[in-house]
Amino acid sequence: MLAITEQLDSDIDFLAWELRPLALDDLGLSEALRVYVRRWSEHFNIGGAFHSDGFETERLLPEVENHLYRVTQEALNNVAKHSRADKVGVLLEKRGRDAVLIIEDNGIGLGEPPQDYHTMGITGMRERVALLGGNFDIEFTSDKGTTIFVRVPIAVQKQ
């Protein structure tokens, strides 16, 4: 009973924190993702690494930050539920006039081509990226993992 209670407490804390991290508003997307990937990794016991480049002096508009954060959450949720991965990497970087987000795991990959997936999670990620005028792609290799690529035009606010 004690173990179940402790797990429930941990799960509830994690879910409440996932809903709206203060770091997103206070510190911006890069730092919020750094914290999220670390906590997600600890919670699911899957090695996680986050790297960011190009957003040291500027922030994306709040709508862009929110959508990219939610895409990352959903992608990592899929990793935890389906991939059997033991490592995942998240990269956020500025490339010219675009923000690029890459989420890559070393799991089992997808069972069928990505365009055949019409799950709520993948559909939601596609729709969020489309709202930003961006591109969303999935690549996979069976037994070698899945990579999600997101590219959106940068709309920034000066800090």
Q: Domains of the chain: which residue ranges?
A: 2-158
Helix-strand-coil split of the chain, %, nearest 5: 50, 30, 25
Residue 45, both tokens: 């016991």
What proportion of the chain, given as a percentage, has pLDDT over 90? 54
- Give alpha helix (H) positions in the chain: 2-19, 22-27, 29-44, 62-78, 120-131
**Nearest to 155, CA basis, from 134, 135, 141:** 134
Question: 2-158 in CATH: which number?
Answer: 3.30.565.10
Identity of the highest mean pLDDT range in 3-17, 23-37, 105-119: 23-37
Residues whose CB is less than 8 angstroms from the CB of residue 20 and which lie 6 or more positions away in sequence, other chains included: none
- 68 — phi, psi (to 5°)? -65, -35
pLDDT at residue 7 is higher than 80: no
Q: What is the pLDDT of residues 52-94, one digit of tens each?
A: 999 888 889 989 999 999 999 999 998 998 888 999 999 999 9
Segment 127-143 shows an average pLDDT of 90
* pLDDT value of residue 111: 60
- Structure tokens belonging to residue 18: 């996932």
Q: Give the pLDDT band (50/70/90) at residue 118.
A: low
Q: Which band of pLDDT confidence, cut at 50, 70 and 90, is reported for residue 39?
A: very high
pTM, two decimals, is 0.82
Between 111 and 120, name the one with better pLDDT.
120
